[in-house]
Amino acid sequence: MSIDRTPEVFDEVSRSGYYPEIVADGLRDALADESVTAYVLHHEPTFDRDEIRRHMTVLALTPGRVVLVHTDEHPPDDLLPNPYTSTTSEAVPVSQVRSVVVTRMVSTTSKQLEEVVLTVGWGAVSRLDIEPAACDDPDCEADHGYTGNLTGDDFSLRLSTAADGGAAVRRLLDFARTLSAATTQATAAGHA
C-alpha cells in the first residue's frame, strides 16, 4: 500500500514561493483528484541575457499516471506586452512509459553521489542526431550517406548535491525507483 503524498507536494509548492497558486492550480487540474504516490519538485533559475528567469518543474506519480507541470517566467513579447508566467501540464499513463533511465555521477575521490539524471521516455518526443557516414579509408572521397541515432527524450531532470542538496537528489532516486516499480506492475497487468 502506498502513502498518499498529495498534501506534501502541495505544501512544498506553497513553501517554494514561486507562483504557488498558479503552480498548485496547474498541478491540481492535472492530477484530476488522483493521489500522489511520489513526487519531485525542482525550482531553478535560468539566465536570459541580462536577466534571471525562474522555472519550476513538478513531477508527480499517481497510481495510474506520470504528471509533469512546468512553470516558466517570460519577458514581454509581441503577444503579451507585460512579463508573464506560463504553466504547462502533461499526464502520461504509466502503462505508456517505455523507459526509466537513471544516471548517477559519483566522485571518484570522495565516493559520494554528486548528481543524478532521470530520463523518462514514453515515445512522444525523440531526438535524431545524424552525421555524415565515413569509411576507414582516409583518402576515400565517396559519399557514404548518413548515420545517426534516434533517442527517446520526453523528459529529463538533473539534480546535483551541490546545487539542489542531498535530500533533493535522494527524492529523485526514490521517485525513479517508485516509477520503475509502477511500470513493472503496469507491464505485468498488460500481459495478464
pLDDT, tens digit, 9 for 90 and up, residues 162-192:
999 999 999 999 999 999 999 987 666 665 5
pLDDT in tens, 101-119: 999 999 999 999 999 999 9
Q: Any residues with CB less than 8 A from the CB of 21 and at least 6 apart, and which?
A: none
pLDDT in tens, 40-65: 999 887 776 777 778 899 999 999 99
Question: Is residue 150's pLDDT more than 70?
Answer: no
Is residue 51 included in any domain, yes or no?
yes
Instruction: Give the residue ranges of DSSP H helices in 65-165.
Output: 161-164
Q: How confident is the model at residue 152 (pLDDT cuts 50, 70, 90)?
A: low
Is residue 50 included in any domain, yes or no?
yes
Q: What is the mean pLDDT of residues 59-80?
A: 92
Nine cell digits for residue 180: 520503475
Is residue 140 included in any domain, yes or no?
no
160 three-class SS? strand
Number of domains in the chain: 1
How many whole angstroms separate alpha carbon 68 and alpha carbon 65?
10
Is residue 96 included in any domain, yes or no?
yes
Which of 56, 53, 62 is CA-nearest to residue 24? 56
pLDDT in tens, 21-34: 999 999 999 999 99
The fraction of the chain above a pLDDT of 70, given in percent, is 90
Taking each helix axis as running N to C, give the angle between helix 6-16 and helix 20-31, from 0 to 180 degrees, rounded to the nearest 10.
160
Is residue 114 included in any domain, yes or no?
no
Name the pTM for this structure: 0.80
Q: How confident is the model at residue 136 (pLDDT cuts 50, 70, 90)?
A: confident
Residue with cell 522555472: 55
- Residue span of the structural domain in which 62 resides: 6-100+152-191
Is residue 64 included in any domain, yes or no?
yes
Is residue 58 included in any domain, yes or no?
yes
Residue type for position 117? V
Is residue 1 included in any domain, yes or no?
no
pLDDT at 135: 86
